[in-house]
Amino acid sequence: MDVSKQHDSNNNILPVQVTLSQAFWYWLKLGFISFGGPAGQIAIMHQDLVERLHWISERRFLHALNYCMMLPGPEAQQLAVYIGWLMHRTWGGIIAGVLFVLPSLFILIALSWIYIAFGDVSLVAGLFYGIKPAVTAIVVQAVYRLGSRTLKNNLLWAIAAASFVAIFALNVPFPIIVASAALIGYVGGRIDPNSFKVGGGHGTTNKSYGAAFIDDHTPTPEHARFLWSRLIKVAMIGGLLWLLPMTLLTANYGWDHTLTQMGWFFTKAALLTFGGAYAVLPYIYQGAVGFYGWLTPAQMIDGLALGEATPGPLIMVVAFVAFIGGYVKALFGPDMLFLAGTVAAILVVWFTFLPSFIFILAGGPLVESTHGDLKFTAPLTAISVAVVGVILNLAIFFGYYVLWPQGFTGAFDWASALITLVAAIALLRFKRNVIEVIAACAVIGLILKTFL
């Protein structure tokens, strides 16, 4: 019998007190098994926390999820923070959020070091030869999945097309595209609100899996009640936790130093991740590859592959980007390359995920003050639609570097094209798991590089 539940004489599950220790071990386990992107991670939490452990009711779970879906940042990690906070106050939220990403941070640091230090070894090169086309297919799948959910009328198609042209042909910065889409949604939602009703969110449900520790009618705990003083306190502490490391970096290294710029750049990225990690990847690509030169386009594809193949939110690819940038730039000298990459990765993860904690700890009491449904607003609908065009641009860039590795003047890579097609069919037609597709394509790439 699970330590977090008991049964009565009729074998009905009765909720009991969930200790912080029990929660700690659950969140740690989740950090190691949270594969499958946000959809898979949310499904795991629902199965565990709602259906099996009965820590939270279905309705309260979806209520929290709807709020997280409206925020910039990784919604699955934010949902873990929210539930941890609701059950065990601030430290419960911090523990849940940190353990959700900590295992993947350590794993990505290790894999990034193996990649950059031994990437020319034939075994590693062969594996990544097959993985890169798979990643291209995965991004195409992301375009299809988001587009099928959001592009419901001609106006929304026009917004998506305009965003694609803006970033592909005009090289408009991603933040400007997001701001423009939000403005269009704000105005359009008042002129023609029906055009921006595309669904989204997760609604409500009357389904019940039995009594839960946090049930539909469980009173809001004292720490989750809204107080202006509490909101101001969280905002001030969160601001200091951002300002202090940024000030130290600027004072010790200067504003133009790589570490300082990484902190600033990924802070901005963290505030632009509406629509999931794929939405902000073009912005990271523009900055990390095109502007700062921290890594190459091919390395960015490889990093996305590692992010897909490891547990944790996909936005953890920022740890790879930072590690490669710190390592290649030899920030602490040629004898401390691993240290430079590790410090850069940890700093970037701090600046990327700090806003998520602030959003939940500051906004959670506002959400708990009413158990009504939270729906996507028209500006957020427009942003989600614009993201479709932006991700399509990313897919084209990835496809270019995979299929024409030497540029258009070089030969077309037919083997990579075939792997991309097979991966796309497996993902879109047969609904295969991302990890399975990456693993299969890696084996194919290794065989092709070894025997052909």
Angstrom CA distances, 139 to 53, 126, 145, stand at 34, 21, 10
Across 121-125, 135-139, 148-152, 418-422, least confident range: 121-125
| Dist. CA 305–CA 308, nearest whole Å | 5
**Residue 5 falls within a domain, yes or no?**
no
Structural domain of residue 357, as residue ranges? 15-203+226-451
Predicted confidence (pLDDT) at residue 176 exceeds the cutoff of 60: yes
Count the domains in the chain: 1
CA distance 47 to 61: 11
Whole-number pLDDT of residue 4 = 47
Domain contains 218: no
**Beta carbons within 10 angstroms of residue 144's beta carbon:** 17
Identify whether 211 is part of a domain: no
Residue 15: the pLDDT is 56
Of 384, 401, 397, 438, nearest in space to 145 by CA: 384
243, part of any domain: yes
Write out pLDDT tens, residues 186-210: 888 888 888 886 544 444 445 566 7
Tens of pLDDT, residues 336-372: 999 999 999 999 999 999 999 999 999 888 877 755 4
**Averaged pLDDT of the chain:** 85
What does the CA dihedral 391, 394, 399, 401 come to, rounded to 10 degrees? -170
Across the range 419-446, mean pLDDT stands at 90
Position 209 scores a pLDDT of 67
Res. 65: pLDDT tops 50: yes
Q: Mean pLDDT lowest for which of 77-86, 190-199, 319-328? A: 190-199
Task: Report whether pLDDT(444) > 60.
Answer: yes
Q: Is residue 360 part of a domain?
A: yes
Could you say which DSSP state residue 220 is in?
P
Residue 212: inside a domain: no
Q: What is the pTM of this model?
A: 0.75
Residue 2 lies in a domain: no
| Mean pLDDT, residues 219-233 taken together | 89
